Structure 1
Amino acid sequence: MIRLTAELTPAGTSYLATGQGQPVVLIHGVGLNKEMWGGQIVGLSSDYQVIAYDMLGHGASPRPASGTDLLGYADQLLELLDHLNLPQAAVIGFSMGGLVARAFALHYPERLQSLVVLNSVFNRSEEQRAGVIARTAQAAEHGPDANAEAALSRWFSREYQAANPAQIAALRQTLANNDPQGYLTTYELFATQDMYRAEDLGTISAPTLIATGELDPGSTPQMAEQLARRIPGAKVAVLPEQRHMMPVESPRLVNQTLLQFLQFAHSRQNHIKGIVA
């Protein structure tokens, strides 16, 4: 079992790092923290340097300043890479982390080796948008765990919830323990920024994978396909019978998808370097 001690950047970002090789950075979803990536840390660290960190307002990282936008969250990742002296990294973002990864790709393309967006949102329908705005209002009034039960039902299959009650209870506690203002600032961005600089997505040139679960009700296969169409050469993977929290519920399946893509991205970059040389 890999047991890691969290470290801090000068700006206070809490992160875990293990393994050697090309760096792969993992960005969690809203209300969660770096601990959600346990299955990926174990599954990827034999081939890569794996780095997981707490987003602003989450875990042991500092609260975002009032009015922080997605660029502020991308800047947090930039400071982490600078602290680790990493000129480039593969960036994997889950849900809200996918929005941060997209913003990072747009603002700092020279620092991006490859991009993976997992179970994330794009071009919500009016009905979907109204639902997430309503959940934002509930969180503002009642706190981070206002929607916990409904969220867990969207995130996991009923079988997984029944088989893993301790883990589900721990996740429920993680949601409740979030800093209310940090959570709300982040959730408001999650609720409103699915089309963040959508007109510029065609400028992303790094190898890109957009993946989600077949049964993910909030980050649908249709969203994944629409987003991938905006990014030149992007690949799409829809994992059968998977819901939103597929990195946690089915880590081996997700890791297989990630490893295949990362190997493809690495070979493509080596091919391009050979042509340039």
Structure 2
Amino acid sequence: MEHGSNLPQVESNHRSLVPPCNLDDNWAHVESFLTTAARLTHYSRPTNGLRRMTRFSPDGTAYRLEGSAQLPPVVLCHGVGLDLHMWEAQVNALWGRFHILRYDMLGHGETPAQPGVTGIGAFSQQLFNLLKYLEMGPVSLVGFSMGGVTAQHFALQHPTLLRQLVLMNTVYRRTADELAGVRTRLELTDKEGLTPIADAAIRRWFEPTFVEKNPQIIATIRRRLLSNDVGGYLTAYRVFVNADDEIGDGLNQVTCPTLVLTGELDSGSTPQIAQRMITDLKTGQLIVFEGLRHMAPVEDPDRINTALLSFLK
């Protein structure tokens, strides 16, 4: 893949498949998502303890700022049930080129839930408040899954705060059939708790061969999912299910350069949904990664990071 404007342009009648690469032992030393961050064996960056410290905004949002403030700012927004530690491989790749902000969204990680949350606007407002507190912007915003939905809403509400947008393994204008699965999972969580949801998520998010070869990564993610407060998880997932009503066809109003990424085998954030985004975006580029499911930034960080570094400025 070449850099900058040479990213593949995808028309509405076809898509780009990026061939798979060998999975190195990127996450051989993954520790808990809730404690010490992972150290990836083939990346090198400083490990200054202050730089790695989680801080808190006045409204309670847990965040980390990494890299020089003189570099272009990039914000990483995680998916439902996860936290800021899902981005370890991306932080390693972006280190030295960008000023990186990652944070725990409402009710996740070390950020407490907020009472009365009913829509994606609350998550978008959380990000706005954090950027205002840190005096950051405009930024390049990278959103994964529900983080991508938050990013869409943020782009509509605060276009002047965005330089670039990356929508990764996320959703948009879902059909009734596409919504059926997430609604079923919401009902199941409400009735039976997080254990069946965590097990099913692993099966949806990763290829079986990856699960077999990377038991430590899988165990870490499963622990992270199970550590969620059920009430907070249900609130966030309900917002995720209903977010299309708030965003509608809003991507046709987004004017900043936008990169859309998904996995060929992602059953929830399908290539068809990604193409729907491209159709509505004015300046959209699409990459569909061959052989990947939902957790693309963890399953194959090399390919994801190559795409990010080619696009982000």
Report the equivalent of 2:80.
30
- 1:259 and 2:309 aligned: yes
What are the ranges of 5 or more consecutive residues in structure 2 without an aligned counterpart? 1-38, 40-46
Report the equivalent of 2:20.
none
Give 1:148 deviation, angstroms: 1.2
Alpha-carbon distance in structure 1 between the residues aligned to 2:129 and 2:176: 36
Deviations, residues 95-116 of structure 1 (Å, cap 9, x unaligned): 0000000000001111111110
Alpha-carbon distance in structure 2 between the residues aligned to 1:255 and 1:145: 31
Report the equivalent of 1:270.
none
- Residues 101-140 of structure 1 mapped to structure 2, 5 A cutoff: 101-140=151-190
Counterpart selection for 1:173 from 209, 215, 223? 223
Q: Residue 122 of structure 1 contacts residue 195 of structure 1 at CA under 8 Å; is this kept in 2?
A: no
Report the equivalent of 2:237.
187
Alpha-carbon distance in structure 2 between the residues aligned to 1:68 and 1:149: 27
Alpha-carbon distance in structure 2 between the residues aligned to 1:8 and 1:88: 21
Q: Residue 156 of structure 1 contacts residue 249 of structure 1 at CA under 8 Å; is this kept in 2?
A: yes
Deviations, residues 137-189 of structure 1 (Å, cap 9, x unaligned): 11112223331111101101111111111221121111111011111111011
Q: Residue 259 of structure 2 contacts residue 286 of structure 2 at CA under 8 Å; is this kept in 1?
A: yes
- Residues 1-277 of structure 1 mapped to structure 2, 5 A cutoff: 1=39, 2=47, 4-20=52-68, 21-194=71-244, 196-263=246-313
Give 1:77 deviation, angstroms: 0.5
Alpha-carbon distance in structure 1 between the residues aligned to 2:211 and 2:142: 25
Coordinate RMSD, CA, aligned = 1.4
What is the identity, as a one-letter code, of the residue corresponding to 1:261?
F
Alpha-carbon distance in structure 2 between the residues aligned to 1:145 and 1:31: 12
What is the identity, as a one-letter code, of the residue corresponding to 2:257?
P
Alpha-carbon distance in structure 1 between the residues aligned to 2:91 and 2:272: 29
What TM-score do you get using the length of structure 1 for normalisation? 0.91
What is the identity, as a one-letter code, of the residue corresponding to 1:65?
P
Give 1:199 deviation, angstroms: 3.3
Alpha-carbon distance in structure 1 between the residues aligned to 2:195 and 2:277: 29
Q: Residue 210 of structure 1 contacts residue 236 of structure 1 at CA under 8 Å; is this kept in 2?
A: yes
Residues 162 and 45 (structure 1), Cα distance of their counterparts in 2 relative to 1, 3 Å cut: same
Give 1:70 deviation, angstroms: 1.0
Give 1:221 deviation, angstroms: 0.7
Q: Residue 15 of structure 1 contacts residue 53 of structure 1 at CA under 8 Å; is this kept in 2?
A: yes
Q: Which runs of 4+ in 1 moved over 6 A?
A: none
What is the identity, as a one-letter code, of the residue corresponding to 1:197?
I
Alpha-carbon distance in structure 1 between the residues aligned to 2:159 and 2:146: 19
What TM-score do you get using the length of structure 2 for normalisation? 0.81
Q: Greater CA deviation, 254-263 or 121-130?
A: 121-130
SS in 2 for 1:210: strand
Report the equivalent of 1:271.
none
Give 1:126 deviation, angstroms: 2.2
Work out which structure has the larger RCO, using CA pairs closer than 8 Å and 6 or more positions apart in sequence. 2
Alpha-carbon distance in structure 2 between the residues aligned to 1:181 and 1:126: 25
Give 1:231 deviation, angstroms: 1.4
What is the identity, as a one-letter code, of the residue corresponding to 2:269?
S
